[in-house]
Amino acid sequence: MTLSEIFEQHGFRLTKPRQQIFDILKNSEIPLTVGDIAKNYKNINRTSIYRTLIIFDRLKIINTIYIGWKNYYELAEPFIPHHHHLYCINCQNAEPIQPKELEKLVDYIGKKYNFIVTKHHFELEGICEKCRHIIEE
């Protein structure tokens, strides 16, 4: 399903600013903060970005990743494959990971507790290899 089809299905208009925010998220390899989005799109105020992200969240277009006191945003399935992150607390890089073992564990836990898992988030915080070398020197 395309972005315009999702908007049409839910009775929303796909405006130029909404499309541009979607494109910024689509072209990013890492999750972005509202500030990151604002830097990439100078002609829109932060209120409009927040409103767009609320709509995107309601329509399940984005995932919100909570790291520390900040929210990061990235596209959700079907726009990008399901994944999780290793987040470096030093350089703030969020490395996407897709461990099959984690998905098996989520499935196992759901079955063990007779629970239907509809959504899950898994983020690991620590220090990446690059920063570890800097810190150890």
CATH 1.10.10.10 in the chain, residues? Answer: 1-80
128 annotated as belonging to a binding site for a ligand: yes
- Averaged confidence pLDDT in the chain: 89
82 annotated as belonging to a binding site for a ligand: yes
The pTM (predicted TM-score) of the whole model is 0.78
* Per-residue model confidence (pLDDT) at position 137: 67
Is the per-residue pLDDT at 12 higher than 90?
Answer: yes
CA gap 88, 4 in Å, rounded = 35
74 annotated as belonging to a binding site for a ligand: no
103 annotated as belonging to a binding site for a ligand: yes
CA gap 91, 2 in Å, rounded = 34
136 annotated as belonging to a binding site for a ligand: no
pLDDT tens-digit map of 44-101: 889 999 999 999 999 999 999 887 788 999 999 889 888 888 888 888 888 888 888 9
CATH architecture of the domain with residue range 1-80: Orthogonal Bundle (1.10)
Q: Which two tokens stand for residue 1?
A: 């399903």
131 annotated as belonging to a binding site for a ligand: yes
CATH architecture of the domain with residue range 82-137: 2-Layer Sandwich (3.30)
Is the per-residue pLDDT at 132 higher than 80?
Answer: yes
* Per-residue model confidence (pLDDT) at position 88: 87
CA gap 119, 65 in Å, rounded = 13
**Residues facing 70 on adjacent strands:** 67
CATH 3.30.1490.190 in the chain, residues? Answer: 82-137
* Per-residue model confidence (pLDDT) at position 8: 94
